[in-house]
Amino acid sequence: MATLLRISRIFQQLQVPTQWNILPFSCYFHSQGVTFSELMYRKSMQCISLSCIDKGLLPGSQNQQVRYYAARRGKREKMKATKKSQKKEVVKKEFVPYHIKMAMKNIVIKPRRENVDHWLKTPPIDDVWRAKFYKKKIYSVMEAIEMHRETHHPTILNEPEAILSSTIELDMRMPKKNRYLDNFTGTIKLPYELKMDNNKKKVLVFCKDSEDQTGALKAGAFMAGSSGVIKQIQTGELTVQDFDHVVAHIDMLAELGTIRGLLKKSFPNRNKGNLGTDIVPLVELFVQGVDYKSNKDEHELDFGWVDVPIGRLNMETNELQQNLFTVLNQVETHKPKGVAAPFITRVLLFSEPSQEKFVIPHWEYLEGYKDPNTLKSEEVTLEQQTEEDDDTDTDEVEHTRVAS
């Protein structure tokens, strides 16, 4: 009886409804062979659990904090096994040689333009010769400039102030086999300034010193500042399309890290030459300098070229030669390390709208380069015999590339 009273008090404290009273059910369970103590225990646990759920003290309530325990070790292993079985099988692709891959795409691999096997290196004997058997004649820089001036005379093309450009052909091979140099870009300041017809380039400058900001604006920068300019880029007032180049002082490098993703390839770097301590010369380099970019042949992966303007035809010949010397040595700096072969293979001068291109002796302007056309006496006699024996009558074919 004391046990029943204690349970009744618990029910009263928990405010158990009257329909859960234990007394009406005691006789029924006693008749089924269940002792009174077992009945009290079962019923009390049932009533207490239901009451606790109503009061939010056991799982089932929305306010109850639920704890999750780690699964058994065996269950984890089963889950890992199922994940592995669900993974897609990676199919290994078979290696296909380059020439077969190009043949499948119906692409014909052409021989390199400057290394054709049947070209003879010895100069022709007569004044008239078949161009298919010989390389292009090499002219001095002075001769090439004078010939372009003649074609651009007012009585012919009437372009006496046309831009004189150079096509620099490159060997893009890397030290490792089947590896080739990626396209590169750069800016070079010519000794004698070349004024282009297009709009002035926009240079954005990041610097803290007020004197550097004033000097940058005088040098031709369209905007110079520090944190204020960074905020304009973060908010979208300034975008990459609004400027051509970025120049920054070393002190601003830490703050510029917040907009590295927005600047993308324009982010300042010492290798690019747009990061330093002297701001004014850097601004003059990118405002007055000439931009250049390398190109790669789609089919000849080891063949590339750079088209760089060196001046105008109305400039002095000596000035054009100095600009050409600077351009060639600047392009030579992009040569891959560890490559023994010459990086620059051939240089041509052209001036639009004329389609003529004249080959010049580039080895005279570069250190470590030799004339590739010099032959030994044995090779000269061998090629002369080959020339005399050749009686084929085929049409003259010469592949040239029109500058884009």
- In this structure, the answer to whether residues 46 and 168 fall within a common structural domain is no
Residue position matching structure tokens 């077992």: 38
Question: pLDDT at position 292, please?
Answer: 93
Min mean pLDDT across 156-170, 176-190, 317-331, 381-395 is at 381-395
Asked whether the beta carbons of 139 and 359 are under 8 A apart, the reply is: yes
**123-155 pLDDT per residue, tens:** 778 888 887 777 778 899 999 999 999 999 999
Residue type, 353: P
Across 335-358, average pLDDT: 92
- In this structure, the answer to whether residues 358 and 304 fall within a common structural domain is yes
Question: pLDDT at position 395, please?
Answer: 44
Q: Which of 358, 361, 401 minimizes the C-alpha distance to 150?
A: 358
Across 181-185, average pLDDT: 91
**69-85 pLDDT per residue, tens:** 665 667 777 888 887 77
- The boundaries of the domain holding residue 344 are 138-190+290-372
Of the pLDDT bands very low, low, confident and very high (cuts 50, 70, 90), residue 397 is: very low
Asked whether the beta carbons of 40 and 3 are under 8 A apart, the reply is: yes
* CA 58 – CA 68 distance, rounded (Å): 15
Of the pLDDT bands very low, low, confident and very high (cuts 50, 70, 90), residue 6 is: low
More confident residue, 382 or 190: 190
Question: pLDDT at position 195, please?
Answer: 80
The answer to whether residue 318 sits within a structural domain is: yes
- In this structure, the answer to whether residues 184 and 215 fall within a common structural domain is no
Question: pLDDT at position 71, please?
Answer: 59
Question: pLDDT at position 154, please?
Answer: 92
- In this structure, the answer to whether residues 240 and 296 fall within a common structural domain is no
The answer to whether residue 102 sits within a structural domain is: no
Position 190 pLDDT exceeds 90: yes
The answer to whether residue 283 sits within a structural domain is: no
Question: pLDDT at position 106, please?
Answer: 63
**364-394 pLDDT per residue, tens:** 999 888 887 665 444 545 555 555 555 444 4
- Residue where one domain finishes, among candidates 54, 71, 95: 54
Question: pLDDT at position 27, please?
Answer: 47
**159-172 pLDDT per residue, tens:** 999 999 999 999 99
- In this structure, the answer to whether residues 181 and 223 fall within a common structural domain is no
The answer to whether residue 121 sits within a structural domain is: no
- Show the CA angle centred on residue 185, arms to residues 181 and 188, nearest 5°: 130
* CA 201 – CA 245 distance, rounded (Å): 8
Question: pLDDT at position 134, please?
Answer: 79
Query: Over the chain, what is the mean pLDDT?
Result: 77
**212-230 pLDDT per residue, tens:** 899 999 988 989 988 899 9
Question: pLDDT at position 89, please?
Answer: 65
- In this structure, the answer to whether residues 295 and 364 fall within a common structural domain is yes
The answer to whether residue 106 sits within a structural domain is: no
* CA 252 – CA 206 distance, rounded (Å): 7
Residues 6 or more apart whose Cβ sits within 8 Å of residue 318: none
- In this structure, the answer to whether residues 300 and 362 fall within a common structural domain is yes
- In this structure, the answer to whether residues 163 and 308 fall within a common structural domain is yes
Question: pLDDT at position 33, please?
Answer: 54
- In this structure, the answer to whether residues 247 and 317 fall within a common structural domain is no
The answer to whether residue 113 sits within a structural domain is: no
As for how many domains the chain has, the answer is 3
More confident residue, 93 or 289: 289
Residue type, 392: T
Question: pLDDT at position 40, please?
Answer: 55
* CA 358 – CA 140 distance, rounded (Å): 9
- Residue where one domain finishes, among candidates 39, 54, 69: 54
Proportion of the chain above pLDDT 90, given as a percent: 31
- In this structure, the answer to whether residues 318 and 347 fall within a common structural domain is yes
The answer to whether residue 95 sits within a structural domain is: no
Position 25 pLDDT exceeds 80: no
Of the pLDDT bands very low, low, confident and very high (cuts 50, 70, 90), residue 359 is: very high
- In this structure, the answer to whether residues 296 and 368 fall within a common structural domain is yes
CATH of residue 210:
3.40.50.790
The answer to whether residue 9 sits within a structural domain is: yes
Position 21 pLDDT exceeds 90: no
- Residue where one domain finishes, among candidates 54, 69, 97: 54
Proportion of the chain above pLDDT 70, given as a percent: 68
- In this structure, the answer to whether residues 176 and 316 fall within a common structural domain is yes
Across 177-190, average pLDDT: 90
* CA 141 – CA 143 distance, rounded (Å): 5
Cβ count within 10 A of residue 345: 19
More confident residue, 51 or 275: 275
